[in-house]
């Protein structure tokens, strides 16, 4: 694991965009894994700007979402498909074509079967780089505390903490936040060649401490990613504020910059 600590969310997003673009450029047939939520939005803005400048394109890059709310139509702005289409497609987007954006089907008659279908799709995709966020409770995708650390894609019940955190996307109405999601499992996520996890703000500080310095535990699902051979964690100073070994991590980052 490599941890980069940045003065603010803008510097973090610059570095994330640089890494995503460079990693995809290095592949002949790249594929991308994307997260939703508010943290990656500045990164997506930089990918759009790079596309506008003619420096980057997702035109031929199959792209896979991490998760989706069960029961929300893609026409609803809170649906993750809607959000990703908004962030990545269209004339001012990244070149991504709608048919190349793969998301779990939120309206599938049988969400459990749909989770299996999606797992097979992502499992066969050889994702080059997977963008991740992290929940305050340590979830990645919607792998909530207490779930299997070796899970494949599945239907997950959102915890109260997650539903409260996400109510901000639903006019602060917790009751409007869906109770179920389809999420890539932790083992599915770990199939990607590289993982890049972004976190900003003090609300994420405890989860980042557990991810970076804590024991692997179902209490903090992100800790399962400690086993991944190419995990880069990018945080701002606030999200890094509970790290005990920040000094050592900065030295490791400085040393690794010669390679990355």
- Binding residues for ligand F6R, per CB under 6 A? 35-39, 66-67, 80, 133-135, 139-141
| Torsion of Cα atoms, 137 then 140 then 144 then 148, to 10° | -130
Least separation in angstroms between CB 6 and ligand F6R:
16
Residue with tokens 């995809």: 24
Which is closer to ligand F6R, CB of 23 or CB of 143?
A: 143
Nearest to 30 by CA among 59, 68, 1, 66: 59
Q: Report residue 195 as tokens.
A: 């993982």
Least separation in angstroms between CB 15 and ligand F6R:
17
H or E stretch at 216: none
Across 143-172, b (16+ Cβ under 10 Å) vs e yields bbbebebebbbbbbebbeebbebbeebbee
- Torsion 169-103-206-197 (CA) sign: negative
Least separation in angstroms between CB 66 and ligand F6R:
4
In whole angstroms, what is the distance from residue 23 CA to residue 130 CA?
11
Which is closer to ligand F6R, CB of 95 or CB of 135?
A: 135
Catalytic residues: 67, 137, 139, 144
Least separation in angstroms between CB 166 and ligand F6R:
7
Across 99-114, b (16+ Cβ under 10 Å) vs e yields ebbbbbbbebeebeeb
In whole angstroms, what is the distance from residue 229 CA to residue 7 CA?
26
Which is closer to ligand F6R, CB of 41 or CB of 250?
A: 41
Which is closer to ligand F6R, CB of 60 or CB of 210?
A: 210
Least separation in angstroms between CB 9 and ligand F6R:
11
Q: Which residue has the CB atom at the shortest distance from ligand F6R?
A: 133
CA 41 to chain centre: 11
Which is closer to ligand F6R, CB of 58 or CB of 250?
A: 58
């Amino acid at each position: 694991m490599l941890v980069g600590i940045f003065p603010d969310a803008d510097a973090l997003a610059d570095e994330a965009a640089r890494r995503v673009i460079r990693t995809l450029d290095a592949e002949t047939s790249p594929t991308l894994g994307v997260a939703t939520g508010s943290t990656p939005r500045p990164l997506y803005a930089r990918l759009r700007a790079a596309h506008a400048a003619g420096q980057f394109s997702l035109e031929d890059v199959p792209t896979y979402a991490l998760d989706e709310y069960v029961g929300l139509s893609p026409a609803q702005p809170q649906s993750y498909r809607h959000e990703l289409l908004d962030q990545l497609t269209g004339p001012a987007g990244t070149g991504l074509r709608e048919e190349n954006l793969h998301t779990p089907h939120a309206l599938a008659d049988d969400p459990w079967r749909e989770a299996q279908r999606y797992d097979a799709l992502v499992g066969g995709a050889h994702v080059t780089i997977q963008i991740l966020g992290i929940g305050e409770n340590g979830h990645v995708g919607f792998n909530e505390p207490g779930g299997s650390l070796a899970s494949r894609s599945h239907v997950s019940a959102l915890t109260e903490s997650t539903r409260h955190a996400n109510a901000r996307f639903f006019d602060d109405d917790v009751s409007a936040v869906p109770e179920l999601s389809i999420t890539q499992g932790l083992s599915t996520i770990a199939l990607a060649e590289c993982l890049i996890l972004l976190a900003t703000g003090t609300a994420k500080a405890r989860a980042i401490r557990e991810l970076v310095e804590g024991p692997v535990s179902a209490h903090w699902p992100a800790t399962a990613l400690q086993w991944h051979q190419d995990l880069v964690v990018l945080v701002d100073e606030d999200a890094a504020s509970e790290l005990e070994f920040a000094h050592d991590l900065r030295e490791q980052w400085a040393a690794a910059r010669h390679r990355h």
